């Protein structure tokens, strides 16, 4: 998916939308999960629809980008390039929030990357704690967030069979820790963050950095 910023005719506020479908988004949230054993680390970015389902009032999440790599440095480089705004010449990203495990030993490497991103006037990866991270998380603890969007309804659109397959694999071993499945962890953390931290619809919130005023963040 390619995301672009646009100006609302009536309010003048800068928002986000899909370049092709023109579906409007309230935010893009990205999850970053570090490599674990033989499992490569992963980045999953999801966009949340502005319009809720008219029946159950759930805002659909749509996959913007998914990337994985076993090398930590390469993974961080991939993360830095996630969800660029289409047509934007300032190197800004559509991502308004990064969630993951900022206490993991690998997270210390973000400091050097962020220094370089700042020098290049590119958005930093300010990794905030995902819901429940730091505790002993099992797949079973967080699967309900995914199930609530896929069982009996379709409130999440992934469009990547390889990512869906990893969710299915994790579902066969729900007593293992979530971070044993980095791609699944990144996805579940994004869903949990969006479900637990609702957007104030219509509000314009400024955030510091290279992406000021983009999408209301």
129-140, pLDDT tens digit by residue? 998 887 778 999
Residue 135 maps to a domain? yes
Burial class (CB in 10 A: 0-12, 13-18, 19+), 202: exposed
Retrieve residue 209's tokens: 């950095």
Residue 114 maps to a domain? yes
Kindly write down the DSSP assignment for every residue of 127-169, as one continuous string. Answer: EEEPTTBTB--BHHHHHHHHHHHHSSS--EE---HHHHHHHHH
Residue 209 maps to a domain? no
The fraction of the chain above a pLDDT of 70, given in percent, is 92
Residue 212 maps to a domain? no
- For the cut 80, the answer to whether the pLDDT of residue 213 exceeds it is no
What's the average model confidence in pLDDT over 18-34? 95
Question: What pLDDT shows up at residue 206?
Answer: 33
Residue 217 maps to a domain? no
Question: What pLDDT shows up at residue 173?
Answer: 92
Residue 30 maps to a domain? yes
Q: What is the CA radius of gyration of the chain?
A: 17
pLDDT digits over 100-156, tens only?
999 999 999 999 999 999 999 889 999 999 988 877 789 999 899 999 999 877 899
Q: Which residue has the higher pLDDT, 115 or 209?
A: 115
Number of structural domains the chain divides into: 1
| Widest Cα–Cα separation across the chain | 51
Question: What pLDDT shows up at residue 8?
Answer: 83
- 125 vs 151: CA distance, rounded Å: 33
> Which residue range(s) make up the domain with 73?
3-201
Question: What pLDDT shows up at residue 207?
Answer: 34
Residue 208 maps to a domain? no
Q: Supply the CATH number for residue 121's domain.
A: 3.30.420
Residue 190 maps to a domain? yes
């Amino acid at each position: 998916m390619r995301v672009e910023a646009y100006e609302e005719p009536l309010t003048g506020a800068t928002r986000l939308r899909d370049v092709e479908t023109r579906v409007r988004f309230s935010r893009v949230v990205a999850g970053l999960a570090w490599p674990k054993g033989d499992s490569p680390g992963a980045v999953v970015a999801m966009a949340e629809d502005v319009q809720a389902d008219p029946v159950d009032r759930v805002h659909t999440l749509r996959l913007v980008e998914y990337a994985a790599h076993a090398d930590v440095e390469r993974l961080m480089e991939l993360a830095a390039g996630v969800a660029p705004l289409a047509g934007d010449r300032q190197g800004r990203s559509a991502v308004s929030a990064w969630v993951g495990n900022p206490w993991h030993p690998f997270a210390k490497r973000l400091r050097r990357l962020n220094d370089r991103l700042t020098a290049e006037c590119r958005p930093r990866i300010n990794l905030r704690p995902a819901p429940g991270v730091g505790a002993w998380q099992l797949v079973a603890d967080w699967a309900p967030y995914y199930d609530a969007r896929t069982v009996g309804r379709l409130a999440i659109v992934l469009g990547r069979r390889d990512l869906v397959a990893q969710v299915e694999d994790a579902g066969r071993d729900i007593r293992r820790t979530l971070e044993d499945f980095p791609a699944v962890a990144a996805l579940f953390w994004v869903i949990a963050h969006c479900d637990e931290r609702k957007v104030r619809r219509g509000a314009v919130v400024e955030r510091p950095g290279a992406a000021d005023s983009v999408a209301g963040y």
